[in-house]
Amino acid sequence: METEGSETILLVEGDALQRSTVARYLRDCGYRVIEATNTAEARQALARFEVTIVVTDVNLRDASGFELSSIVRQQRPGVRVFLTHSVEKTAKLAGDLCDDGPLDHPYHPQHLVERIRRMRGSQS
C-alpha cells in the first residue's frame, strides 16, 4: 500500500480559489499535487508526471470532466479518478468513470482526503 507522501494527485479545477485551497490542503496532508485549470493542461501533466490520482471538476472550460476521465481510463487505467460536482445526472454517469462517485462542489478538502484514504483501504 502506498503512503500518502508517495502519491501524486493531478487536481483539475477551473476555479482558482477552490483549486488553490484544495491543493494546499492536500499538500499539507502529504500528497504531491500537480495543478491544472483545464483538460489540455491535465493531458500535458499526465504525459509528464507519474500521477496516481486525478481529481477533476465535471464542468471544465475546454471539455467535461467525464471526457477527461475517459482519457485517463484509456491511457492510464491504474490511475484513480474522483469527479467533483453535485448534479443528479452527474452522479449516475460518474459510476462508470470514477472510483467513488462525484464529490459535491464546493467541497471541503478533508472530504476528498477521506475518500482517497477509503479508496486506498479497499485496495489492500
Per-residue pLDDT at 105: 66
CATH number of 4-123: 3.40.50.2300
What contacts 31, CB < 8 A, 6 or more positions away?
4, 5, 7, 8, 9, 116
53: helix, strand or coil: strand
Per-residue pLDDT at 117: 85
Q: Which three cell numbers stand for residue 78?
A: 491504474
- For the chain, which residues make up each domain, given as ranges? 4-123
Digit-by-digit pLDDT tens for the chain (124 residues) are 344 557 999 999 888 888 888 899 999 999 999 999 999 999 999 999 999 999 988 877 777 778 888 889 998 989 999 888 744 444 444 454 455 566 666 777 888 888 888 877 766 5
The model's pTM: 0.68
